[in-house]
A and B are shown apart, each in its own frame.
Chain A
Amino acid sequence: MLEKRMAALQVFYTKPLPTWGGDVSGIDFDTIYYYVKPTKGGAKRWEDVPPSIKETFEKIGIPEAERKYLAGVGSQFESEVVYHSLQEELQKQGVIFLGMDDALRMHPAIVRKYFGTLVPASDNKFAALNTAVWSGGSFIYVPRGVHVALPLQAYFRINRQSMGQFERTLIVAEEGSSVHYVEGCSAPQYTTDSLHSAVVEIFVKKGAKVQYTTIQNWSDNVYNLVTKRASADQDARMIWLDCNIGSKLTMKYPSIILRGRNARGEIQSLAVAGSGQHQDAGGKVIHAAPDTSSTIVSRSISRDGGRTSYRGLVRVGKTARNATVRVVCDALILDPSSRSDTYPTMIVNDASAKVAHEATVAKISEEALQYLQARGFSAEHASSLIVNGFAEPIVQQLPMEYAVELRRLLELEMTGSVG
């Protein structure tokens, strides 16, 4: 592993920063702490947490203990118990669910077989950085034919070991298995780190199904530059569900390589950009086998001078006969100072592929607003309802407790945005 890290560091030094997408010139690589011992997090004081973050906790109704954990000043003890009983249940099925560091120690053979094969260090500058300095992240191994009934949540595991800024997550779903992994939390995560650069690799074997759900709400000083990639074998199904609300700049394009016949991929994303934020998100699907299909649905909302960008790539290779692709991106702009961009690229190298893409950008319709106001809603409440309705197709696919929190958060984000 040390060799891999050293080699990756060299790659990091030689690779240029990306010239497209968001402005990353504000990152000073020399001032970042590359490894902080998990226990150090506890040294911070609740009093140091900014009032705006505390206020949000209050409004979306997060319990006291959880608030402290989310703010990075404490850890939650009740969930330890939940974690242990969950762990027992999983062990019976042969499922491995560990922190990446533990996994490397306890299951080196599996880690070696998959680590860095989907996202090599040479992939991009930030993947190289992650490979060189990674710590933390999740490791999930689901044996053949096993269906994990409950969504596995990083939330339970992280409490034992604080989440790093250079997480490395690896998920392997063997033939015919299924698993749903949820990372992040709808509450704002306060951190003094300025760069979060994770790498996620997912292997979906024949007939398996993996759903990876992310709810990202970093505080607005964070650069969130993440490389996520999945490979789907024959008859496999991969779903990325990605909600980006926080951070200063997010650049994240979950990818799926459909390399087995009849593999299916789905990327659903929601992005909300407020003042000073840039959400540059999207998805990539590479069709490399016959009869594969993919769907990308993206919804974005920009307000108070925020900027959302959809950046997507769909490539249908020569060997991918009868591929079908559907891409839909819709954007809502709430005020004149905000911005929304769409950069979809479609490359079709096979004549039997059916590829369709559509996008719309608009503001909240006056008619809808007036209709609701005529029914007695205030302008603010009416637009918050419309925004929630706009986000609903994505939000409703989240596990219930996350959906509830996210809806409340959207309402909160909209407060004061109209009138």
Chain B
Amino acid sequence: MVKARIKTVFFSRFRNASYTVGRNETLIIGAYVSRAAKRAAELSIDLAGDGGRVLMCYAYSGCGTDVHALRISVTHRAPRTVANIFGRGALSGNASSTILGIARIEKNAQQADTYFSHHALLLSDAARASATPSLEIETDDVLAGHAASTAPLDQDSLAYVRTRGMSESAATAVLVNGFLSHDVNRLPNELANRFYRSFRLCKSLENT
């Protein structure tokens, strides 16, 4: 039995970073970003060893003139490598986000499994979101998928929470919290705790 080596990382701001995941290693990334970086960040993950895995859950909130720009590229170079990336963002004011996810499965990465999802919530008329989840697959024995969505806050849910006695802004904050932390239970406790500790919506979002 090979002992799995696990490495965990937490981000509170998107920045350039690159990781190489070796044989039977696991990389786990948690991120909660409430302040936009000045420029586009690039995160590249290289699954170079047989059985290497990456799990990433990130969430961000943006308001004012925040611009979240993130490019995540995952390259499966070895067989049986697994990548699961879950992202969520809530945008209000004039905030915008541009998320580019590129999963690449190379020829010899048989039985690779890759998944990327990105869901954005638009809370104001001027908020904008753009998402491009790309796949480049050069072999056949793989599982690959992605999902992306953009939508406003569900008015029915909002009405429901408000009938429980909350103001509109409090109800919105509850729903946005729930939306952003939806995938966090996939993270190990230590990272999930850091996620919740750093969790804070930007001011205008709280007062929406």
Contact = CB atoms under 8 A, between A and B. Distances in A.
Interface in A355-385: 355-363
Given A341-B135, A363-B140, 12 more contacts: A342-B135, A342-B146, A345-B132, A346-B132, A348-B129, A351-B122, A355-B149, A356-B149, A357-B148, A357-B149, A361-B143, A363-B142
B63 interface: no
Contacts, number: 110
A65 to B, nearest CB: 41
Contact of B136 (A341, A346, A350): A341
B171 interface: no
B125 interface: yes
Interface in B134-154: 134-152
A189 B134 CA distance: 33
B140 A351 contact: no
Dominant secondary structure of chain A at its interface with chain B: strand
A343 B132 CA distance: 7
A362 B105 CA distance: 12
Interface string A322-357: 000000000101111111111111111111111111
Q: Looking at chain B, what size class is its interface with the partner chain?
A: 20 to 34
B150 A344 contact: no
B80 to A, nearest CB: 15
B77 interface: no
A334 B140 contact: yes
A351 B144 contact: no
B69 to A, nearest CB: 13
Interface of A: 331, 333-363
Nearest to B126: A351
B123 interface: yes
Contacts of B16: none
B130 interface: yes
Contacts of B125: 350-351
Interface string B154-183: 000000000000000000000000000000
10 contacts: A342-B146, A344-B148, A351-B123, A352-B122, A355-B150, A356-B147, A361-B135, A361-B144, A361-B145, A363-B140
Interface in B92-139: 107, 110, 120, 122-139
A346 B128 contact: no
